[in-house]
Amino acid sequence: MKKKNFKLLNYVFVTIFLMIPSIVFADETISCGESIMEIPLGAAQIMHAGYLLIKIAAPVVLVFMGSIDLIKAVIGADESEIKKNQIKFGKRIVSALMVFLVMSIIQLVFHFLAQSGFSGPTDCVNTILNGKY
102 part of a folded domain:
yes
Helix runs in 1-133, H state only: 3-24, 41-52, 58-76, 79-115, 121-130
Q: Residue 68 falls within a domain, yes or no?
A: yes
Domain with 69, as residue range(s), is 29-130
Contacts within 8 Å (CB) and 24+ apart, 115-123: 119/33, 119/34, 120/32, 120/33, 120/34, 120/36, 120/37, 121/32, 121/33, 121/36, 121/37, 122/33, 123/32, 123/33
Q: Which residue has the higher pLDDT, 13 or 80?
A: 80
Query: For residue 72, is it within any domain?
Result: yes
3 is a domain residue? no
Instruction: Read off the pLDDT of residues 9-34 as tens digits, 9 standing for 90 and up.
Output: 666 666 665 555 555 555 677 776 66
Structural domain total, the chain: 1
Q: Which residues pair with 38 in a beta bridge?
A: 31
